[in-house]
Chains A and B, each alone.
Chain A
């Protein structure tokens, strides 16, 4: 295998001449070194982005990403790929907008096409309460300098001609808001792009290496015990989403996290019919059409705690009922695949980024149902926090301490769907 070369029209032509048999591996599979300057636990989007920005922004390249399976097969490969930054509170607006801005330049930055499609995201209102709520949000979001506007019914009809706009429907559409810069991206490409970018800068990506414990001496982390032996590091950063409570318990403290299944499903491929992301909190579904033509949809979490990556069928039934209510044209579309991911939900539906009671041990978790959109921003501020030992100013409000001080950031309404 050749070195990790830059992708370009010339490399494509060069490899086409050799029947595409000589493409280099996108990242190495090295043996673990006995020690690193920092270890990232979790090879999903957040972990890999953190490693990438540690290397790129802070020159910290003696770094390992430790992943129990193959990279990107947890929530990063299971979400509905929606990207947006229309959050209510200032703290959230700052981090999700940083993330969206990084996403906008990410394909160039990573030299890897993440297939970002800023097709706009429409949130529907079905009653007077919904209207007041989305108007309040549009104004608050606008004041933070983020694009956000109300749509007239005529505009909604023009953007989504297949939407059921009948005043006689069970939940008639009475208005909508839109973030035009929102959209979707290819989730696997985000994983692969960050992995390749981090690897090219010297980061070791250790797949099939499961963390079984932390070595902690007098309140300070010294490294991680793994299925491939002990690996030492003065800084350990954990980004494991649904398993955050399990790793926190290994380190001897408690987290305000509940792990729930979040289900999604995709349909058979259809011809292009639907070119925005559509979201409704009242009938409770969000859906978009992927570049492959599949309808991708999701709704709320299952009510019970689970680590099983599957949920109950009644959740899917509600989701499909909502989709057919909004878009009756899809009533005979066949659903092809259905799955669940384990999301880490915080009491205030906002993430936890930063220090823990153990010195040198950092956690980045609690992204709940909306982690994919946050990957670049989360990795950027988490890398800063790890490198400097102090929280990045955008990450600071999301400390674990806020559950003691009471400075919660309540984003329960943020998804436009219940958490």
Chain B
């Protein structure tokens, strides 16, 4: 079981949390003008890396707040926990 350090409550077991999938997926700012392919990319296409993944977690049975986690999808090691809205480790949004 993963141990996740909630930024508000401290380290807790994984079964207190819900994984919300890939982080940093921005909703298109011009929804009226973008193409179907761009919609498909936003709605369905995912990075799904073998390695470091930035993902969202929610502390559902604790503070119920969302935050971001960088986690390795091969070792499951949690590399970084950071607030929603902060850029990922490599500085990209």
- Chain A positions within 8 Å of B, measured between CB atoms, are 243, 245-246, 249, 254-259, 303-308, 312-314, 347, 403-406
Contacts and interface: CB of A to CB of B under 8 A. Distances in A.
B1 A254 contact: no
A254 B73 CA distance: 18
Contacts of A347: 43-44
Given A254-B41, A254-B46, A405-B36, A308 B74 contact: yes
A258 B53 CA distance: 12
A255 B48 contact: yes
B21 A403 contact: no
Interface in B1-20: 1-2, 14-15, 18-19
B34 to A, nearest CB: 12
B71 A245 contact: no
Contacts of B44: 256, 347, 403
A313 B55 contact: no
Contacts of A314: 1, 14-15
B92 interface: no
Contacts of B19: 303-304
Contacts of B75: 308
Contacts, number: 71
B50 interface: yes
Contacts of A245: 46-50
B55 A403 contact: no
B40 interface: yes
B21 to A, nearest CB: 7
B76 interface: yes
B1 A403 contact: no
14 contacts: A245-B47, A254-B47, A255-B45, A256-B45, A257-B46, A257-B48, A258-B46, A303-B18, A303-B19, A304-B55, A304-B73, A312-B2, A314-B15, A403-B44
A255 B46 CA distance: 6
List 5 tightest A-B contacts by C-beta distance, closest first.
A245-B48, A256-B44, A254-B45, A303-B19, A404-B40
A417 to B, nearest CB: 18
Contacts of A306: 73-74, 76
B37 interface: yes
A256 B46 contact: yes
Contacts of B21: 258, 305
Given A307-B73, A307-B74, A404 B48 contact: no
Contacts of A307: 50, 73-74
Nearest to B1: A312
Nearest to A347: B44
A258 B48 CA distance: 6
Given A303-B18, A313-B1, A308 B76 contact: yes
B37 A305 contact: no
B36 A305 contact: no
B14 to A, nearest CB: 6
A249 to B, nearest CB: 8
A352 to B, nearest CB: 11
Given A303-B18, A303-B19, A306-B74, 16 more contacts: A245-B49, A254-B46, A256-B46, A257-B48, A258-B21, A258-B46, A258-B48, A259-B48, A304-B2, A304-B55, A305-B55, A306-B73, A306-B76, A308-B75, A312-B14, A403-B43
